[in-house]
Structure 1
């Protein structure tokens, strides 16, 4: 198996990519991690190595995140457009190196925002797009998350605070409100299926041969600074009225995802006028690629790429 790391200078920032493949002729699949700033290299390597049987798997540690961490400057522009531009340069470099014309994209959560924006702007470079925990409308997403917390929390104090939080997150104490909101969602089981914390993921970072303790520390720092710079823009994301794309779209959603609402993603899928598939993963929430890794890998490796807007719906 071919496996190596590579640094790219992208729009003024040094960024890390891990490339894994059983066959260098396999099509490129670029994984866009969540967050903002939640670099995921050790998790992809541990849970999703099987994807390298069909694809040349490209694990990109985004600007300021994980192994690509650096402290953002006060006057540095960090927006969704910044990350889309970074992805554009990365794809140009990869296609030039391999003398190819297209890549496949897989975006998870925050990464699905980058992915959707990219396929809107540069469809000619994309063979097909896979959205996992796809963000469609942030405000609808937060509404479903809030409703889930209120239904599953037994604390009156928690319910009162959750009810009072402005999910546009532009209030003075927005960062603390966001952390509280997300922590309650995790504690009530709406994010990681069958779990009330992310603790089961942490050992994979510590044990990874590609992550040092410094990288682990940088991951937490990168996540915090990325959220601080990007979250107000994330809170305004809305693809609800985007009904036609020039590339096939495959959505893979955990049936119990209340972190990024599966309901909202399915409503979007039903209105979509592009070649499309919707794959609902049972006994999964926001991280089906890791909590049901074997099934997820099999689904992606055996994808039937949709060719019409009639849609393909599967439950696994």
Structure 2
């Protein structure tokens, strides 16, 4: 009888634990900045740490990529993918949001952070900014350190002009080594900001980007570029999404301010900082970011290189990326 009671008690405890640690599979629209925006939350248990992923672009959602390449993360954390205003499913629901600026994106992300902390009963969460999302992320980590266990910057943008100069130098070297005279002529026109190739900074950037694509300076291996493109139209809820239209819309609404980015005045952070960069990323060269991190004051900092990646380590080296993120989140959330 005694053994039977003990066995029943054990089943009751296990049953209670299962009830208290439900898995998370939620796709919803959350009001941020007075407008409904798409948020996707996925994790094996409500007890896990929360990772808020800020996508880049601007206007280039990461949600389908996270589903396709990074689902392993959800075993060890609650992954939150947010389609920012003017982007992804937020754009499809509302193609003309009232507010869309760097400051409004920062404000929306701060509001979302508070929502997530309350929803999952967390004192802090982990923040990750990818590409242009890292502009939002770094400023959030600076302004609101008490909200975050750590900040992870992937393909981090610090100073647009420095990245541009480094990128153009690499393109020029590639064109010379390949004796690509047509490209060298175009590079000269870009350097002179000749109106025949670009009338706006946005046009100059896109022309430079096409040269990077030509020399594999964005995504390192063609087969990965094909796989990323496949992921973008793999899921039904993104099949009708016009990626280029949304990107152009968001960029125009930001008024080209993304091309004036300079975060080098952020000289210290109060949270641990991890930067990740692809060795073959010449869109936002990691050498610029690494130089910045060497000078940055933070309680803990680390630079992680991805040897076989360009601009998109989360997709290009998904296994390593997932492993590294899991290790970081476990470490910082445990300390917290």
What TM-score results when the alignment is normalised by the length of structure 1?
0.88
1:208, 1:288 → 2: CA distance?
21
Q: 1:197 to 1:253 in 2, by over 3 A?
A: closer
Unaligned runs of 5+ in 2: 1-22
Deviation of 1:163 (Å): 3.2
Aligned to 2:213: 186
Tell me the CA shift for residue 169 of structure 1: 12
**C-alpha displacement of 1:262:** 0.5
Bigger helix fraction: 2
Structure 1 Cα separation of the partners of residues 222 and 173 of structure 2: 17
Once the two structures are superposed, residues 163-198 of structure 1 have per-residue CA deviations (whole angstroms, 9 ceiling, x without a partner) of 333699997433332221111111111110123994
Give the drift of 1:52: 1.0
Pairing partner for 1:14 from 33, 36, 60 = 36
d(CA) in 2 for partners of 1:168 and 1:118? Answer: 33
Partners in 2 of 1:2 and 1:77 — Cα distance? 30
235-244 or 171-180: which moved more? 171-180
Residue of structure 2 equivalent to 1:141: 163
- Cα displacement (A) at 1:37: 0.4
1:229: how far off?
2.4
Q: How many residues align?
A: 301
The answer on whether the counterparts of 1:169 and 1:232 sit within 8 Å (CA) in structure 2 is no
Instruction: Classify the secondary structure of the residue corresponding to 1:165.
Output: helix
* Aligned-pair CA distance for 1:144: 1.1
Counterpart contact for 2:64–2:238, Cα < 8 Å: no
**Secondary structure at 1:3's aligned position in 2?**
strand
Q: Measure the CA separation in 1 of the matches of 2:208 and 2:164.
A: 9
In structure 1, runs of 5+ residues without a counterpart are: 307-316
CA contact (8 A) 1:187 1:197 kept: no
* Superposed displacement of residue 38, structure 1: 0.6
Out of 34, 37, 45, the residue aligned to residue 56 of structure 2 is 34
* Counterpart secondary structure, 1:222: helix
Give the corresponding residue for 1:227.
Answer: 251
Instruction: Tell me how far 1:280 sits from its aligned partner.
Output: 1.0
**Alpha-carbon distance, 1:115 to partner:** 0.1
Is the Cα–Cα contact under 8 Å of residues 277 and 306 in structure 2 kept in the other structure? yes
Whether the 8 Å CA contact 2:131–2:154 is kept in 1: the answer is yes
Cross-structure match for 2:20: none
Q: Is the partner of 2:149 in helix, strand or coil?
A: strand
After TM superposition, list the pairs within 5 Å mapping 1:87-102 onto structure 2.
87-102=109-124
**Largest Rg, 1 or 2:** 2
Structure 1 stretch displaced more, 262-271 or 226-235: 226-235
For 1:231-242, what aligned pairs fall within 5 Å after superposition? Answer: 232-242=256-266
Q: In 1, are the aligned partners of 2:233 and 2:239 still within 8 Å (CA)?
A: yes
